[in-house]
Amino acid sequence: MERIAFFDARTYDRKYFDALAPRAGLEITYLEGRLTPRTAVLARGFDGICAFVNDDLGADTMWALSEAGVRAVALRCAGYNNVDLKAAEKCGISVFRVPAYSPASVAEHALALLLTLTRQTHRAFTRTRERNFSLEGLVGVNLEGRTVGVVGTGRVGLRFAQTVRALGTHVIACDPEPKWGAGLEYTRLDELIRRADVISLHCPLTPESYHMLSRSAFHAMRPGVIIINTSRGALIDSEALLDNVKSGKVGAAGLDVYEEEADVFYEDVSSKVMRDDTLNLLLSQPNVLVTSHQAFLTDEALRAIAETTVNNLRGFFAGDAVENELRPREAQTV
């Protein structure tokens, strides 16, 4: 059996992988820590490793994995902005991902963030638990009739667009590869930013999309705009977002990702001092809702992730061509 080191292991992952790995001829060893150049030494003696969104798969890590004898890296996620594919190729390491596991899971989480913010159910929940049944300060807004801008119409973005359109919104979209048959109005990003009452991000993080929502972008937005991000944190300039929340330009923000999340998300830091002042201040705002990169966290998605990841590894070790292998020249789609 091929041996796989599973980094950043969580209890909710193990159930699904434990059921599939033995039948695929894989022996998994779960490691709780994140993968970094320093922890890559733990992969010595393993044939492959399994990594997640906040693991460091840069050049230093790739060389360390190569020296440890690792031949395959299986990402149990769609995005791979944390992977140096050129270094992987030089090291002779094959990298695989899960391009589509459950678009509905992420799209529905984005919608949940949006509806929670527009109706302030997160604040109402906190109040009623303290036996405060006052409605003062809980006036919401309807989505019907508003313009929702969807940035990125891959599998997730398209599902979100279709879902939110059913609520009576007008959807405009931006994507370098428009899905013309989807019945969406496509426009340039700068126009989308100017027109949208809601901006929801569903695109990959690339050098071109880094800080897509910059200070200048926020300046061009409509007053009271709602920002939703379930893709990658660095699509948004977090300090600019905070300033615009404080000024009232941004009416609300729902964030499932954050650009400096790696050392915080997926961890219990409730008894520690949080050194990230920007995140601290965002969390303190009543119109900002932050979840811990959990949009993927459904039974259906976890099952699909495990199945595809295991199949990717089984195919590689069997010498088969694997459709989900990543190469440096390829562009990312989500």
What are 63's two structure tokens?
Answer: 């060389």
Residue linked to tokens 């959807």:
171
Known catalytic residues are 232, 261, 293
Neighbours of 269 (CB within 10 A): 11
d(CA 40, CA 36): 6
Closest CA to 6 of 75, 99, 63, 58: 75
DSSP character string of 66-109: HHTT--EEEESSS--TTB-HHHHHHHT-EEE--S-S-HHHHHHH
As a whole number of angstroms, the distance between CA 140 and CA 137 comes to 9
- 289 vs 167: CA distance, rounded Å: 21
- Please, what's the largest Cα pairwise distance for the chain? 64
Asked whether 86 and 109 are in contact (CB, 8 A), the reply is no
